[in-house]
Amino acid sequence: MALWLGLLLGLALLGGLIYWLIITTEGVFLGQRLVVWLYDITAHKYDGIKEFDDEAERFFVVRPLRYHLRHLPNPLVLDVATGTGRLPSYLLDEATFNGRVIGLDPARKMLDLAVPKLAPYRGRIMLTQGTAVPLPFPANHFDAVTCLESLEFFPSDTAALREMARVLKPGGVLFVTRRRGKEAKFFLNRYHSREQFENILTNLGLDEVNTQPWQFDYDQVFGKKRMTHDA
């Protein structure tokens, strides 16, 4: 009897470990290749799982980003981990946005789904397959860099943020999310309190760092790249 109980306990613990590794943290502790593979095999279900609400996306995502870019007539935006083109599609659909967007993601099948979604904006959108570290762009290049609901799945969130800050123009805006809520701490060393996360951005050369509650699992965090003396 004790042996069977031990086996059942062992199986339960193993099941819990597998669930944590594959479902809760989406393979991040097993390496980037597995994370990308998981997104590729679930790409066709991604938008259905997320159930994006058009009005909410326009109000809570596009509106604050447009506010930070209000002084620029034709801003250039980089969306890191663009997935199926969530942010580019809503931003480019905004009548008052006259800029261009580059969407970057390592999962080819996610990008394949973004192509038809973004077809109406041809000439103002470029999709490229790649990772956040290193970003394949020169320093001081973008007016804004965005990264939504993705940082905790990168091999190093700090290294990715450093790259995002590098490619931002002085005075450019960074718009990212910080994982919060009960499940956030399951990401162990990838979890940062609000203060810790804001300090990371400040140390990377961003000013006016501001955190706002967004979803149950995420905060929105904005920051502006510090101006240099010769900028």
The secondary structure element, H or E, covering residue 18 is helix 2-19
Which residue is associated with the tokens 């042996």? 3
Contact (Cβ atoms closer than 8 angstroms) between residue 79 and residue 43: no
Per-residue confidence (pLDDT) for residue 75, from 0 to 100:
98
Pairwise CA distance, residues 117 & 84, whole Å: 8
* Residues in the chain, pLDDT under 70: 1-21, 229-231
C-alpha distances (whole Å) from 30 to each of 81, 85, 153, 192, 228 are 19, 26, 11, 20, 40
For 23-65, the pLDDT digits (tens) are 777 778 778 888 888 899 999 998 998 889 999 999 999 999 9
Pairwise CA distance, residues 99 & 87, whole Å: 13
Per-residue confidence (pLDDT) for residue 3, from 0 to 100:
65
Token readout for 201 is 């951005």
Token readout for 70 is 């209000």
Mean pLDDT, all residues of the chain? 91
Q: Is 205 left (phi over 0), alpha (psi -120 to 50) or beta?
A: left
- Please name every residue paired with 179 in a beta bridge, in sequence order, or none if there are none: 218
Whether residues 70 and 18 fall in one domain: no
pTM (global) more than 0.85 = yes
Q: Containing domain of residue 17, as a range?
A: 1-30
Whether residues 86 and 131 fall in one domain: yes
Whether residues 23 and 89 fall in one domain: no
Q: What is the CATH number of the domain that holds 178?
A: 3.40.50.150
Q: Say how many domains are in the chain.
A: 2
Per-residue confidence (pLDDT) for residue 50, from 0 to 100:
86
3-state secondary structure of 79: strand
Closest by Cα among 176, 177, 180 to 217: 180
Contact (Cβ atoms closer than 8 angstroms) between residue 107 and residue 83: yes
Per-residue confidence (pLDDT) for residue 224, from 0 to 100:
98
86 domain residue, yes or no: yes
Per-residue confidence (pLDDT) for residue 210, from 0 to 100:
96
Whether residues 176 and 89 fall in one domain: yes
**How many CB atoms lie under 10 A from the CB of residue 210?**
13
